[in-house]
C-alpha cells in the first residue's frame, strides 16, 4: 500500500468494493493516498492505484481561476448524472506514466459520495474538477483513460509504459 501500480497490473482492472462506514482505517488509507499522489505528483488518486480495492478517491489541485486549493476525499463516489455537453481535454494517469491523450467526457457531472465524517454529499461539478473525478471514479470500476482510445493507440501507450518502466528500474 505504499507505492503506485502501473499498467498492466491486474489490480488496476478490478472493481473496488463499497465501504460500509468511513472509519479510522479508511481515513488512514486516504491520507497515505494523498501523500503518494502529491509526491508523484498528481491531482487525483483512486485506491486501486495503490493496490487497495476499496472505493476511495482523493483529489488535490489548484483552481487556475481562483488560485484556491481544492482538496478532499471521496468514499463510495458515484456519478448520478452527466451533462449532454462534452468537452475534450488532455488526460494522463499516474499508473500510465509519461502518456497523455485527448479524451472526450461530459462537461458537468452530478455526484454523490461519503465525506471524511460519513456525511452523504451530493453536488454538481464542472471543468477540471469534473474531469479529475470522472477519471478517478472510472478507476474504481477498473477502467483506465486509455480505454477511451482505439485498440491500437491503447496498446502503443501500454508498450511505451512498459519500456519506460524497464528503463526507470534499470537506472
Q: Which residues are catalytic?
A: 136
Asked, as a colleague might, if the bond just before 41 is cis with ω within 30 of 0, I would say yes
In terms of C-beta density within 10 A (0-12 exposed, 13-18 middle, 19 or more buried), how is residue 69 classed? exposed
Gyration radius of the chain's alpha carbons: 16
Q: Kind of pairing, strands 86-93 and 69-82?
A: unpaired
State the residue for C-alpha cell 483529489: 59
Beta strands in the chain (DSSP E): 44-46, 56-62, 69-82, 86-93, 96-106, 108-114, 120-126
Amino acid at each position: 500500500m505504499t507505492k503506485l501500480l502501473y499498467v498492466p497490473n491486474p489490480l488496476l482492472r478490478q472493481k473496488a468494493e463499497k465501504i460500509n462506514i468511513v472509519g479510522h482505517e479508511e481515513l488512514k488509507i486516504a491520507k497515505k493516498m494523498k501523500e503518494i499522489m502529491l509526491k508523484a505528483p498528481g491531482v487525483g488518486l483512486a485506491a486501486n492505484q495503490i493496490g487497495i480495492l476499496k472505493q476511495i478517491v482523493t483529489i488535490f489541485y489548484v483552481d487556475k481561476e481562483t488560485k484556491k486549493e481544492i482538496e478532499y476525499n471521496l468514499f463510495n463516489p458515484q456519478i448520478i448524472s452527466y451533462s449532454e455537453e462534452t468537452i475534450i481535454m488532455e488526460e494522463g494517469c499516474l499508473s500510465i506514466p509519461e502518456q497523455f491523450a485527448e479524451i472526450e467526457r461530459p462537461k458537468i457531472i452530478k455526484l454523490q459520495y461519503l465525506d471524511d465524517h460519513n456525511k452523504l454529499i451530493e453536488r454538481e461539478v464542472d471543468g477540471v474538477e469534473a474531469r479529475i473525478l470522472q477519471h478517478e471514479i472510472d478507476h474504481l470500476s477498473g477502467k483506465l483513460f486509455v480505454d477511451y482510445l482505439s485498440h491500437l493507440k491503447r496498446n502503443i501507450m501500454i508498450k511505451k509504459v512498459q519500456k519506460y518502466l524497464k528503463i526507470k528500474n534499470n537506472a
